[in-house]
Chain A
Amino acid sequence: MGSAIEAINLTKYYDDLLAVDHINFQVEEGEIFGFLGPNGAGKTTTIRMLTGISRPTDGTATIIGYDIQRQSVSAKEQMGIVPDVSNVYKDLSAWDNLVFTGKLYDMPKAFRESRAEELLKMFGLYERRKEKVKGFSRGMKRRICIAMALMNRSRILFLDEPTSGLDVQSVLIIRDLIRKLNQQRLTIFITTHNIEEASQMCDRVAIINHGKIATIDTPEKLKRTMESLQSVEVAFETTPQNALKDLEQLPQVSEVVKQGDKFKLFTRDPSSVLASTWNYAQNNNLKLITVNTVGPSLEDVFVKLTGIKPATAEEEPEKMGHGKAQRMSGREDQQ
């Protein structure tokens, strides 16, 4: 299997601001590759360079072996793009949106019409094909946008925050679609700040922060490499006032995080923390109602590598002119 996407020393400056800092990675054909990072980390800038919208200040990128700058037409023929905003033509019908996309790829009339019909049926929108897209829900617009990206039978699909801001049902539909498309050997490059989504869907993830790639690996391997992020989760029937401080004093506990009525005690040695927590409960006449040992989540890995605390991190606007203002939350639309 060859590389579907290759970024070599890819760099982007906006005046003096270094948005993407000499990044290197490869995405294999047929892979779902997640590009994970907080807003402002350089995800969208990277995707814009990979898709030819933006020119790298330094470095190169290839798409199925074609240089995106020097062989841009051949490279662009291989890809479909779903940006973070559903950039559909609201005053055109669903059908016309797809047919116009076919025209942009210079597809013959019969081929573009049969492909539009096939995709609208696949996406459950064929019955509403004659309606203007401005009357569609956000989830439907997102589906139209993905269908437009697939018009040219692309080999690579770029998805920038595909489920951001959608309702639960639409999120489930789109995730299911992405999996089905990947089963048809479509390579998928997905940027997200939703850690759980990346963990559920991606074969490999790259974590990017401040324009640099912190790590690239499979979600499970990333979790396993972070032994210090194992934890014991406990909840008491009645929570004493000083519980947080007291639990931090327990041996082998590196950090305690309060999550609702639960405490998450991070440790390299869960068994000894279990014992000391039991003793703490006994000594203070507390009744334990929940005790769990938890392996590191991808969110824990993400927090460790980026140094960002999910509870407090405000999203920074992307240096794109299309800034978003959402809260950083890896689990906000977790199913």
Chain B
Amino acid sequence: MKDVQSSHLGREIRVAWAIAVKDMRTYYTQPPAIMFGILFPFALFLSFSIGRNVPLATQIPILVSQTLFFASSSIGPVVIPIERADQTFDRFLTSPVSLLAILMGKTLGGIIYGTGISIIPVLVGMAFFGTQIVNVGAIIACFALSTLAFSALGIMFASIPGQTVGQVMMPLNFVRIPLLFVSGVFTPIAELPQWMQAVTMLSPLTHTVELARYGTGGETFFGPVLNIAILIAYAVAFLFMGIRFHIMNQRKE
């Protein structure tokens, strides 16, 4: 019985990995993935950073957080509607794997994309702007948990039964853009009124920014333990809701 379960689990993992690799090869260079996953966070960062009298080294964690946020959460909303329109998503539904394995593969695609894109500003910061990683554990936790939570957020929104990227990306941006303003990205959390600090704590992006700052020698308002705990809670919640919504969708099919 145990052998059957472990062989089933192994199969699910192999299939999830195959789906992630296929997504990387097929969709990472698609215009919507580049637009919403790379250009969008860089443009937002530049529009809010240029002209501010702040050292660039302190801005790197913000750029890293934004790329983690936008790149990871963009893959699901790009890939799944395209696959629905091409009916290639049906291939997964008719193959002998669970919906969980399919969505894990899609989530993994977002994690790898978000990690790959967000490493670039870290390396650029270290090479040219004096950014230093003083806490490797915090940076690893920041990358791992943020990409997982935001990729799962994207998969959750991709359950909206649309067949174009815009049908999913528009409602997602209604959530993503306001989050930028309540996450301590542009204004230090300590300077916000108390009620605003409470709102800030509820945003998952806050904890990505905090961990990125903490890992590069900055300060964290809520503390790294709370940052990690809240990111884990969001990752679990987004994964759970994403799976539930996709199951509900399949029932309506």
Contact = CB atoms under 8 A, between A and B. Distances in A.
A binds B: yes
Interface stretch (A45-53, A184-192, A231-239): A45-53
Contacts of A321: 161, 163
Nearest to B22: A100
A70 interface: no
Interface string A109-146: 00000000000000000000000000000000000000
B96 A87 contact: no
A38 interface: no
B95 A105 contact: yes
B211 to A, nearest CB: 35
B25 interface: yes
Interface residues of B, number: 26
Interface in B47-102: 86-88, 90-98
A177 interface: no
Contacts of A55: 250-251, 253
Interface in A79-128: 79, 81, 83, 85, 87-92, 96, 100-101, 103-106
Most A CB contacts (10 A, CB to CB) among B11, B26, B97, B253 go to B253
Most A CB contacts (10 A, CB to CB) among B90, B92, B98, B251 go to B90
Main secondary structure of the interface of B (DSSP, over half): helix
B18 interface: yes
A52 B93 contact: yes
B94 A54 contact: no
A275 to B, nearest CB: 56
Most A CB contacts (10 A, CB to CB) among B87, B97, B98 go to B87
Nearest to B84: A321
A51 B98 CA distance: 14
A87 B22 contact: no
Given A81-B94, A321-B163, A91 B26 contact: yes
Contact of B94 (A76, A85, A89, A322): A76
A58 interface: no
B15 interface: yes
A77 interface: yes
A53 B93 contact: yes
Nearest to B89: A87
B14 interface: yes
Contact of B15 (A72, A87, A104): A104
Nearest to A76: B96
Contact of A87 (B19, B90, B161): B90
A82 B237 CA distance: 36
A325 interface: no
12 contacts: A51-B94, A53-B90, A55-B253, A76-B94, A77-B96, A81-B90, A81-B94, A83-B90, A96-B25, A104-B15, A104-B92, A106-B96
Interface of B: 11, 14-15, 18-19, 22, 25-26, 86-88, 90-98, 161, 163, 250-253
Shortest Cβ-Cβ A-B pairs, 6 listed = A103-B18, A87-B87, A104-B95, A76-B96, A54-B253, A73-B96
